[in-house]
Amino acid sequence: MTEDEIDESNQLLVVIVDVNPNQLMYARHPGSFSRVMNSLLTFMNSHLMLHASNRVALVAAHATGCSYLYPDPDQSKEILRQQDGQHEAFYQFETVVRRRLKTVINMDLHSTATESLVSGGLAMALTYINRVYASLGPAEKVNPRLLAISSTGDSAAQYINYMNSFFTAQKLNIPVDCCMLGQDSGLLQQGCDITGGVYLKVEENSEKLLEYLIWMFLPCVPVRKMLGAPPPIRVDYRAACFCHRQLVDIGFVCSVCLSIFCKFNPVCTTCHAVFQPPKIMAPIRKKKESKKVSA
């Protein structure tokens, strides 16, 4: 691909940010949440600045659900006028996100769950992209991509939801990028690998978060090939068992629905198929093939 062929316009960036205030990183470093949000807003404004046709959407994943931070789901036609000389599009984006963020965090105030519904956020982002596709005119086009930002590690309880989102994204040719803060997530790592996105783990409470975001995630996918990015790390492709949601190396797989179990289950909990318990290996007599071959 030559430089002239690269289409950097019409980029739709959908970000899923984990805003659960119970995340360990935010508890350990007071003030880190606002730093993450400020870096994210600056990063998304930079994306808008790259091309007039670029678009953004922001989904918040929290303990009790997922919500849109931008575009405003209330659809209020209130016109926001900037006051401090800031570009109107940036002002609009920032004001709406900050107002929505307040509402979303207030909903979760009494929750103590440390896990967030990042997989739900991914699914919501995919539906948003689908809606954008449906609203396009015949000559219009859009190049969507996803970015997940979280500091919650592996949540094997959401394994199936994650995998469904990843395979949907892969089918729709939407790359999933991931920026983990302080902790690794094996599942998101698999998702980035499956969909051809970038996976990056940033050290906890990093002051360079904005620099990482701009260097790794601002360039669109065709441009990334020209950058001297660090080589991809080995991906841990373990699956989570459906019974305890724990990552397993070797397990039992239902031959009907391909559910994974860490222990033998006489009845598959997903599709209710019945299995014989494994017998102690007895010598197996070979049956003679009775099939006739028709010439």
Least distance (Å) from Zn ion to the CB of residue 260? 8
Q: Which is nearer to Zn ion, 131 or 263 (CB)?
A: 263
Asked if residue 126 binds Zn ion (CB under 5 A), the reply is: no
- Long-range CB contacts (< 8 A, 24+ apart) of 253-258? none
Asked if residue 271 binds Zn ion (CB under 5 A), the reply is: yes
Least distance (Å) from Zn ion to the CB of residue 155? 15
Burial (0-12, 13-18, 19+ Cβ within 10 Å), 91:
middle
Q: Which is nearer to Zn ion, 237 or 264 (CB)?
A: 264
Of positions 37, 239, 243, 260, contacts Zn ion by CB under 5 A: 243
Q: What does the angle CA 216 – CA 217 – CA 222 come to, to the nearest 5 degrees? A: 95
Piece in contact with Zn ion (CB under 5 A), picked from 64-72, 84-92, 97-105, 237-245: 237-245
Q: Closest by alpha carbon to 150, among 17, 59, 32?
A: 17
Asked if residue 259 binds Zn ion (CB under 5 A), the reply is: yes
DSSP secondary structure letter of residue 214:
I
Least distance (Å) from Zn ion to the CB of residue 258? 7
Contact at 8 Å (CB) between 251 and 260? yes
Q: Which is nearer to Zn ion, 172 or 257 (CB)?
A: 257
Contact at 8 Å (CB) between 91 and 49? no
Asked if residue 267 binds Zn ion (CB under 5 A), the reply is: no
Of positions 268, 276, 279, 292, contacts Zn ion by CB under 5 A: 268
Contact at 8 Å (CB) between 185 and 150? yes
**Rounded distance, CA 6 to CA 180, Å?**
28
Q: Which is nearer to Zn ion, 80 or 267 (CB)?
A: 267
Asked if residue 240 binds Zn ion (CB under 5 A), the reply is: no
Q: Which is nearer to Zn ion, 70 or 261 (CB)?
A: 261
Q: Closest by alpha carbon to 153, among 113, 116, 191?
A: 116
**Rounded distance, CA 239 to CA 249, Å?**
8
Least distance (Å) from Zn ion to the CB of residue 249? 12
- In sequence order, which residues have a C-beta less than 8 Å from that of residue 120 and are 6 or more positions away? 61, 65, 66, 158, 161
Piece in contact with Zn ion (CB under 5 A), picked from 106-114, 230-238, 248-256, 279-287: 248-256
Of positions 27, 257, 264, 267, contacts Zn ion by CB under 5 A: 257
> 65: phi > 0 → left, psi -120 to 50 → alpha, else beta; which?
left
Of positions 225, 244, 264, 267, contacts Zn ion by CB under 5 A: 244
Of positions 136, 223, 256, 267, contacts Zn ion by CB under 5 A: 256
Query: Which stretches of the chain bind Zn ion, using CB under 5 A?
Result: 241, 243-244, 254, 256-257, 259, 262, 268, 270-271, 273
